[in-house]
Amino acid sequence: MANIANITVKKNDGTTDQIWTAVQASGGDKSPAIWRNQSVGAANSFMPEMRMQSRSNQDGSLRRLEGVIDWKQSATGSDGVVRKINVATLSFNVGMPQSMPSADTNEFVAQATNLIASALIKQSLKDGFAPV
């Protein structure tokens, strides 16, 4: 089982590092681990956030991992109050059979996450359209 840690990712420019700070470790099944990009947003409620939790199915044959990443856009109104005006969301739901051999699990995780990180999928997400 992995221990929570800060996560470093690249900004859209491909060179600048951004740190997603480990804010809260999971307390166990159905309790989310939480990370925030504390370099964006003036207060916690405006910071991009990722949550991930896990749980077993009823007979324990499958582990379910669920996560959501929210990127919040805020603006200051004419009254000087900062408000959240938009939220972009990426969510994931992964079912990991507990009887699957490690080699297959490892290959699935590597290829699935690399697909999401591919240039084509990144561009499609930025455009808001599936490839044609």
Contact 33, 52 (CB under 8 A): yes
Q: What is the pTM of this model?
A: 0.91
Q: Tell the residue number behind the tokens 């896990």, with chain if given.
A: 54
Q: Report pLDDT digits (tens) over 41-82.
A: 889 999 999 999 999 999 999 999 999 999 999 999 999 999
Closest CA to 46 of 75, 19, 25, 22: 75
Domain covering 7-99: architecture: 2-Layer Sandwich (3.30)
Task: Supply the DSSP string of 9-52, one letter for each residue.
Answer: EE-TTSS-EEEEEEEE---STT--EEEEETTSSSSGGGS-EEEE
Q: Report pLDDT digits (tens) over 17-27.
A: 999 999 999 99
